[in-house]
Amino acid sequence: MAIHPIEFRYGTPEMRAVWTEENRFACIVRAEMALARAAADFGLVPPVAAGVIEQNAGKARLSRAKEIEAAIDHDMMAMVKAIAEVCGEAGGWVHYGATSNDILDTATGLQLAESLELIDAKMHTLLAALLKRSMATRRLVCAARTHGQIGVPTTYGLRFAIWAAEVGRHLDRLRELKPRVAVGQLTGAVGTQAALGEKGMEIQARMMEILGLGAVEVSNQIISRDRYAEYFMFLAGVATTLDKIGIALRTLQRTEIGEVEEAFGKKQVGSSTMPHKRNPIKSEQVCGLARVVRSSVEPALANNTLWDERDLTNSSCERVLFPEATILTDHIIRLMTGVIEGLTLREENIRKNLFLLHGVTMAESVMIGLTRKGMDRQLAHEIVREASMEALAKKEPLDEVLARNKEVTACLSRDEIRELLDPDRYIGTAVEQVERLDRKLKERYLKA
Indicate which residues carry an active-site annotation.
147, 271
Helix 21-41, helix 100-136: angle, nearest 10: 120
With a CB cutoff of 8 Å and minimum separation 6, the contacts of 102 are: 31, 35, 184, 185, 186, 187, 188
The closest of 232, 226, 227, 248 to 293, measured between CA atoms, is: 232
**Rounded Cα gap, residues 36 and 326, in angstroms:** 30
With a CB cutoff of 8 Å and minimum separation 6, the contacts of 93 are: 36, 39, 45, 46, 49, 50, 53
Strands 141-146 and 149-155: antiparallel
Dihedral of the alpha carbons of 166, 172, 178, 179, in degrees to the nearest 10: -160
The closest of 290, 369, 396, 304 to 333, measured between CA atoms, is: 290
What is the CB neighbour count within 10 angstroms for residue 404?
Answer: 11
First to last CA, the chain: 44
84 phi and psi angles, rounded to 5 deg: -60, -35
